[in-house]
Amino acid sequence: MAKKKLSEQKIAELKELGRICRGDILKMTTVAKSGHPGGSMSSIDIYLMLYAYANIDPENPFDPNRDRVVISHGHTSPGVYAALGRLGFFNIDEVIAGFRHAGSIYEGHITRGIPGVEWTTGNLGQGLSAGVGMALASKISGKNFQVYVAMGDAEQAKGQVAEARRTAVKYGLNNLVAVIDYNDAQISGRAHDVMFVDIKANYEADGWKVIEVDGHDYEALNDALCEASNYSEGPVVIIAKTVMGKGVSFMEDVVGYHGKPLDLEACKKALAELGVENDLEKYLEMRKKLPSYHEPIVPPTEFVEIDPGTPITYGASEKLDNRSAFGKALADLAKINKGKAPIAVVDCDLKPSTKLEDFEKVWPENFVQIGVQEHNAVTVAGAMSISGAKTFFADFGVFGIDETYNQQRLNDINKTDLKVGVTHVGIDVGEDGKTHHCLDYIGAIKNLYGFKLIVPADPNQTDRAVRYAAVNKGNFIIAMGRSKMDIITDANGKPFFGDDYKFEYGKVDVIREGKDATVVVTGQVTTEAVKAADELKAEGIEITILNVSCPLDANFEEVKEYLKGKVCSFEDHNVNSGLGTLLESYFALAGFLPEKFEKIGIDRYFISGSKKDLYKIAGLDAESIAERVRKWVR
Amino acid sequence: MAKKKLSEQKIAELKELGRICRGDILKMTTVAKSGHPGGSMSSIDIYLMLYAYANIDPENPFDPNRDRVVISHGHTSPGVYAALGRLGFFNIDEVIAGFRHAGSIYEGHITRGIPGVEWTTGNLGQGLSAGVGMALASKISGKNFQVYVAMGDAEQAKGQVAEARRTAVKYGLNNLVAVIDYNDAQISGRAHDVMFVDIKANYEADGWKVIEVDGHDYEALNDALCEASNYSEGPVVIIAKTVMGKGVSFMEDVVGYHGKPLDLEACKKALAELGVENDLEKYLEMRKKLPSYHEPIVPPTEFVEIDPGTPITYGASEKLDNRSAFGKALADLAKINKGKAPIAVVDCDLKPSTKLEDFEKVWPENFVQIGVQEHNAVTVAGAMSISGAKTFFADFGVFGIDETYNQQRLNDINKTDLKVGVTHVGIDVGEDGKTHHCLDYIGAIKNLYGFKLIVPADPNQTDRAVRYAAVNKGNFIIAMGRSKMDIITDANGKPFFGDDYKFEYGKVDVIREGKDATVVVTGQVTTEAVKAADELKAEGIEITILNVSCPLDANFEEVKEYLKGKVCSFEDHNVNSGLGTLLESYFALAGFLPEKFEKIGIDRYFISGSKKDLYKIAGLDAESIAERVRKWVR
């Protein structure tokens, strides 16, 4: 359906709002004594045009079929809030009085959940990836909404923008329109001096259609948005030439106003020049009456319900790696849900290793291959997950956690619904060596408040963890090693995580019980500990094995009695920041120390070698575990 | 000085080595049953030409004036090792027998410290940034060596490569030549299918000169390297069209050989085709006799000695932020060392906030402005730091730690000598809100084995920390808040970290002593605790204040006696992963728990607001600290 131009009357209204919004921007930053007026004033005409042009109803701003507008340069929040307020999304007075105050939801950088705001930004260079994710989800979910992304010029230098550009072209995202506010001014000076980017040449080199306009000319923006929105071949970028501080003579093109508000006197002068009433006193009074705190906004995300299917149980005699169980579970979800509920997976050129190939075979249309562009891939996947597609992302641990740590943090802040599978964690990776050993899958994720972390012990627990994450809200990381392992069995030789087992988030599994010592383990080390326990039992030494599949939220209280004697943790993880340290925190909280406690893990960037050799060196193989316990118990 | 072409005779020798090296590549991967033969065989002719063309003496491979060759696609280690071995850098037999074995230094991905290897890679897309850093250091140090960077084609999609490209052009790096092995094959298939990158158009859009050649044609490579090395206008890229698996008929252009070695039978067949002797048995025997472990290599880095100058003491009545003290210390180092020892600083468009402007004013030639390109900036700075320039990098915490977490990890693995100042850590950032609150400056860095972390309590301690890091080897992070604070004084009202104070890494500072309770603090919270202590004293409550300026290596043992009673930690950091957890680990190690212990910190992504309001909400301001202690002690 062809998108039409806005009417002349509408354009006239918006022009008038442009003048009023400029006043709002100045008022809110002056009242807050903080914020970014300069870029807000260069972007304001673009924002008014975008929010008016896009199909978003201020009365129903979270309609799943709405067009999405992503603002990448989130520090222009005064401009975004002014435009949205004046277009009827919320009360503008509350913004002007409350901007950046602890008692107001109108924070320093735009926040998802505020009507009209689709993505929390502020860290630059992320918005185009979010837009690509939404545009992909639009196609995958069949909703076919349009996505608009506004960006600043300084952030065009950021590599992630180039990654997003290529992804948009690869997937022919003709429902994606980007607008760049090219005011040529950033914190350190002129954008073209600080780090020159030939923006037009860059977009063209990556295959985008480019339109250039005056970013303060409403008619020109109207024409450009109409042309871009109807262009069917792929994504379009509108490079809008603007002036920082536009509209107030003494602010125009002055780089210093990037992040500096006007004082009261200057603000009055500027308001007079704009022909806007000086009602600053009113807002200063309102601000004094604000509460001292506001609850964080919870955005109303549509949660995609899927059928988790029936768990697969791998028999006691099978030998398998967790990542294969992950791949098979995903393929199973694909088979069950295809044609019913949209599931998508995102890969970064590692599908044979992360086992996403299994999914791809079943549902190739929903397999998104982003190549060696991890930063972009993680943001794309996060945005997809809240835009109508149940989204899985898989990568090696060093890429899906370390390389994209901040992108995952921003997903978390955005309260996405992303399911991440990281494979090749630990020195279990073996020969690929230290650059590929992810040793912080607990220690890094511990810093992210929202992510749930599951480190399954074997393929059976992996299968159940995948299905659990698939049907429970929020961000999950499932961390898996590389190597094949024995299926963990109970004392009778039956699969421990078999048909009768139900995954419960946070539960600590008591795999073996014994009075002589307690070994606490997680992930691929559990199978080694079980072997050690069975070996020790033959010698008359009986140990308890606690498997901690959810380290960050482990319910140690429930297994407290096992933790009072001789306790040792073994982990294929940095010993300074992993399982052992979580136990130490628990002890302090619970108010007791075990009779004896030791934590074994990786204490340095490790060498390259076979898993077998490395586990021996690190003291994590069954033999080393048994030997340590023997020394203790004797 | 014009660089010359290699002689015809030398070219003939190299061609013959190309055949032999192909045999070496196949032998080492087959013997190891692991590794990447395909890309190694497409890159081998390039490697031989690069190492022969560059001014590097195998007899003196760490000469500070040597040309640098960086290999970005580090998984082609078999090719790199074969070329270096056959060119006389080390014994090729040891590589073939030991490749990827725990008892050998020839690890899975190339490792800095092996003669000829300048940068440990494996995570793709980092090498060009490292090369840019080295080329910048070459100019800043006046050594004027040439830098060559070899890359794969798949990694051209990575955004960091685009960032590096622009930096090279901005700084006119005519001493930088890149060579791309364009074999159009990667793990998931053809590079142009997985994620199409128009490599030529991309480099040209960013202002590079492009030369295209056949990457298996030695004469053409010779011509291209000569032309590129003598080009004076800026950086040059040579796009070398190659064939994966080149040289063995059944391997050529077969994507599957990217990461799959030949089995013994296939290897014999391939060796026969190459006309290389089948001596696999010899190497298999040698491998059996390898030790089970090797010590990690320590690369012989030249350490730039600078004069640390005399500490600045800020008086008891001054009010200052730590970042201003950081900026002033850097400017002071610049004044003292200019013209004597090269110091450089790297900025990402935040100089007014990170206070790098002070340095820039003194030493503009050594001020490197990389713009909004953090990933590249961190790698550039790391590489500079081991290439002849004492290098400082500064950024907001969320960028210098979170966004670039993996780049810092790779710097750490590379044993760089980088001094990082991160500002705006904690909710002390205030109004910029959650995307800008860095709450993991302890919790993230705890995962990096080599980095030393200093979180100074006030401007005086900051000044001393900067000078300490400047003259001590290795990677340092100095984490600072945003706000101005009171200078910390001793009980007599004199600056605590004044003229008599000497910074000692790891030492815990006893700022106040009192019997009623112990408050443990770090960074910008210390000044709040001191205020609380002085307030409480007036009420007859005496508390001890322990300032932990080096959380990761704090010597708690020395202040053990203070930790046995009522202890509470207060931190402007994620409470799950910061100072409090380090205390908990210490308790478990030391074998005691305090009479009472509580940890106060940030337990969620925080809202935006003034520092004052936020500290009150979080319970970190002087009043809240005092109130908590009162409740305890009463």
Number of H helices, E strands in chain B: 22, 18
DSSP B3: P
| Partner residue facing A372 (CB), from B125, B398, B413 | B125
Q: Give the whole-angstrom CA distance, residue A47 versus residue A630.
A: 69
Between helices B8-32 and B37-53, what is the axis angle to 10°? 150
- Where b means 16+ CB within 10 Å and e means fewer, B450-469 reads bbbbbbbbbbbbbbbbbbbb
pLDDT higher than 80, residue B99: yes
- Kindly state the average pLDDT of the residues B408-437: 97
Cβ–Cβ < 8 Å for A348, A372: yes
Closest CA to A259 of A187, A314, A208: A187
Instruction: Say if A1 falls within a structural domain.
Output: no
Q: What pLDDT is attached to residue B248? A: 97
Q: What pLDDT is attached to residue B634? A: 77
Residues B24 and B160 occupy one common structural domain:
yes
Signed CA dihedral, B303, B309, B311, B314: sign only = negative
Residues A254 and A153 occupy one common structural domain:
yes
| Partner residue facing B577 (CB), from A111, A446, A617 | A446
Residues A522 and A557 occupy one common structural domain:
yes
Using a 10 angstrom Cβ sphere, with 0-12 exposed, 13-18 middle and 19 or more buried, the burial of residue A428 is buried
- Whole-angstrom Cα Rg for chain B: 28
CB neighbour list of residue B449: distance below 8 Å, 6 or more residues apart: A574, A603, A604, A605, B412
The percent of residues above 70 in pLDDT, for chain B, comes to 100
Cβ–Cβ < 8 Å for A358, A331: yes
3-state DSSP assignment of residue A495: strand
Q: How far is CA B118 from CA A145, A390, A576, B601, in A?
A: 49, 43, 29, 42
Instruction: Say if B351 falls within a structural domain.
Output: yes
The per-residue pLDDT of chain A, averaged, comes to: 97
User: What ipTM score was computed for the predicted complex, to two decimals?
Assistant: 0.97
Q: Which residues pair with B486 in a beta bridge?
A: B319
CATH code, domain with A184: 3.40.50.970
DSSP A426: S
User: B186, A349: Cβ pair inside 8 Å?
Assistant: yes
Q: Give the whole-angstrom CA distance, residue A95 versus residue A93.
A: 5
Q: Give the whole-angstrom CA distance, residue B358 versus residue B348.
A: 15
User: A293, B607: Cβ pair inside 8 Å?
Assistant: yes
Q: Give the whole-angstrom CA distance, residue B221 versus residue B199.
A: 18
Element (DSSP H or E) covering residue B327: helix B322-337
Q: What pLDDT is attached to residue A1? A: 66
- Where b means 16+ CB within 10 Å and e means fewer, B349-360 reads bbbebbbbebbb
3-state DSSP assignment of residue A195: coil
- Residue of A447, A556, A623 to mutate, testing the B interface (most B Cβ within 10 Å of its Cβ): A447
- Kindly state the average pLDDT of the residues A470-492: 97
- Token pair in block for residue A220: 């020109």
pLDDT tens sequence across B10-52: 999 999 999 999 999 999 999 999 999 999 999 999 999 999 9
Q: Give the whole-angstrom CA distance, residue A211 versus residue A207.
A: 13
Residues A179 and A85 occupy one common structural domain:
yes
CA distance B500 to chain A (A): 34
Instruction: Say if B34 falls within a structural domain.
Output: yes
Q: Please state the domain count of chain B.
A: 3
Which residue of chain A comes nearest to B370, CA vs CA?
A195
pLDDT tens sequence across B115-141: 999 999 999 999 999 999 999 999 999
| Partner residue facing B292 (CB), from A167, A398, A613 | A613
Q: How many other C-beta atoms are found inside a 10 Å radius of the C-beta of residue A14?
A: 23
- Residue of B34, B75, B153, B188 to mutate, testing the A interface (most A Cβ within 10 Å of its Cβ): B188
Q: Give the whole-angstrom CA distance, residue B418 versus residue B100.
A: 29
Between helices B159-170 and B374-385, what is the axis angle to 10°? 60
| Partner residue facing B349 (CB), from A188, A375, A443 | A188
DSSP B438: B
pLDDT tens sequence across A517-528: 999 999 999 999
Q: How many CB pairs lie under 8 A apart between chains A and B?
A: 351
Which residue of chain B comes nearest to A616, CA vs CA?
B292
| Partner residue facing A100 (CB), from B32, B163, B431 | B431
Residues A272 and A361 occupy one common structural domain:
no
- Kindly state the average pLDDT of the residues A473-499: 96
User: A609, B444: Cβ pair inside 8 Å?
Assistant: no
pLDDT higher than 80, residue A5: yes
Q: Which amino acid is at A189?
A: G
Identify the domain containing residue B153 by its residue range.
8-288
Which residue of chain B comes nearest to A597, CA vs CA?
B588
pLDDT tens sequence across B262-278: 999 999 999 999 999 99
pLDDT higher than 90, residue B1: no
User: B435, A123: Cβ pair inside 8 Å?
Assistant: yes
Residues A74 and A192 occupy one common structural domain:
yes
Q: How many other C-beta atoms are found inside a 10 Å radius of the C-beta of residue A369?
A: 21
User: B109, A436: Cβ pair inside 8 Å?
Assistant: yes
| Partner residue facing B166 (CB), from A157, A373, A446 | A157
pLDDT higher than 90, residue A587: yes
Q: Which amino acid is at B134?
A: M
Q: Give the whole-angstrom CA distance, residue B421 versus residue B479.
A: 6
Q: Are strands A508-512 and A543-548 parallel, antiparallel or unpaired?
A: antiparallel
Give contacts of B402 with chain A, Cβ < 8 Å.
405-406, 409
pLDDT higher than 70, residue B571: yes
Q: Give the whole-angstrom CA distance, residue A288 versus residue A616.
A: 65
Q: Give the whole-angstrom CA distance, residue A85 versus residue A87.
A: 5
Instruction: Say if A503 falls within a structural domain.
Output: no
User: A122, B433: Cβ pair inside 8 Å?
Assistant: yes
How wide is the angle at C-alpha A340 spanned by C-alphas A338 and A344, nearest 5°?
A: 50
Give contacts of B121 with chain A, Cβ < 8 Å.
435
pLDDT tens sequence across A121-163: 999 999 999 999 999 999 999 999 999 999 999 999 999 999 9
Q: Which amino acid is at A33?
A: K
- Token pair in block for residue A32: 């807050």
Q: Give the whole-angstrom CA distance, residue B167 versus residue B147.
A: 15
- Residue of B395, B403, B411 to mutate, testing the A interface (most A Cβ within 10 Å of its Cβ): B403
Residue B438 phi, psi (nearest 5):
-85, 110
Q: Which residues pair with B238 in a beta bridge?
A: B179, B211
Cβ–Cβ < 8 Å for A404, B404: no
- Kindly state the average pLDDT of the residues B366-377: 97
Q: Give the whole-angstrom CA distance, residue B104 versus residue B452.
A: 29
pLDDT higher than 70, residue B503: yes
pLDDT tens sequence across A382-402: 999 999 999 999 999 999 999
pLDDT higher than 90, residue A571: yes
Instruction: Say if A366 falls within a structural domain.
Output: yes
Closest CA to A634 of A585, A600, A596, A606: A596
Query: Which parts of A377-448 are beta strand (E)?
Result: 390-396, 419-423
Q: How far is CA A211 from CA A14, B365, B504, in A?
A: 22, 38, 59
CATH code, domain with B623: 3.40.50.920
Give contacts of B595 with chain A, Cβ < 8 Å.
none
**Half-sphere exposure (Cβ direction) of B113: Cα atoms closer than 13 Å:** 15
Q: How many other C-beta atoms are found inside a 10 Å radius of the C-beta of residue A412?
A: 21
Q: Quick one: three-class SS letters along B155-185?
A: HHHCHHHHHHHHHHHHCCCCCEEEEEEECCC
Q: What pLDDT is attached to residue B187? A: 81
- Token pair in block for residue A144: 């076919």
- Token pair in block for residue B40: 């190694």
Residues A187 and A131 occupy one common structural domain:
yes
Q: Which amino acid is at B42?
A: S
Q: How many other C-beta atoms are found inside a 10 Å radius of the C-beta of residue A59?
A: 9
| Partner residue facing B187 (CB), from A120, A294, A352 | A352
Q: Which amino acid is at B95?
A: V
User: A352, B592: Cβ pair inside 8 Å?
Assistant: no
Q: How many other C-beta atoms are found inside a 10 Å radius of the C-beta of residue A473?
A: 11
Closest CA to B605 of A552, A452, A448, A294: A448
Residues B565 and B599 occupy one common structural domain:
yes
The structure's pTM equals: 0.98
Residues A598 and A550 occupy one common structural domain:
yes
Q: Which residue has the tokens 């603090």?
A: B521
Q: What pLDDT is attached to residue A192? A: 86
CB neighbour list of residue A173: distance below 8 Å, 6 or more residues apart: A132, A135, A136, A139, A147, A234, A235
How wide is the angle at C-alpha A602 spanned by C-alphas A598 and A604, nearest 5°?
A: 125
Residues B282 and B347 occupy one common structural domain:
no
- Kindly state the average pLDDT of the residues B340-361: 96
Q: Give the whole-angstrom CA distance, residue B240 versus residue A347.
A: 27
Q: What pLDDT is attached to residue A569? A: 98
User: B405, A410: Cβ pair inside 8 Å?
Assistant: no
Which residue of chain A comes nearest to B618, CA vs CA?
A293
| Partner residue facing B373 (CB), from A159, A352, A436 | A159
The percent of residues above 90 in pLDDT, for chain A, comes to 95
pLDDT tens sequence across B580-608: 999 999 999 999 999 999 999 999 999 99
Cβ–Cβ < 8 Å for A426, A523: yes
Instruction: Say if B349 falls within a structural domain.
Output: yes
Closest CA to A387 of A146, A62, A112, A134: A134
Residues A435 and A552 occupy one common structural domain:
no
Closest CA to A81 of A34, A40, A122, A33: A40
- Whole-angstrom Cα Rg for chain A: 28
Closest CA to A359 of A323, A403, A319: A323
- What is the band of A377 on the pLDDT scale with cuts at 50, 70, 90? very high
Q: What pLDDT is attached to residue B300? A: 87
Instruction: Say if B299 falls within a structural domain.
Output: no
pLDDT tens sequence across B285-316: 999 999 999 988 889 888 999 999 999 999 99
- What is the band of B188 on the pLDDT scale with cuts at 50, 70, 90? confident
User: A588, B587: Cβ pair inside 8 Å?
Assistant: yes
Instruction: Say if B294 falls within a structural domain.
Output: no
Residues A195 and A56 occupy one common structural domain:
yes
User: B398, A406: Cβ pair inside 8 Å?
Assistant: yes
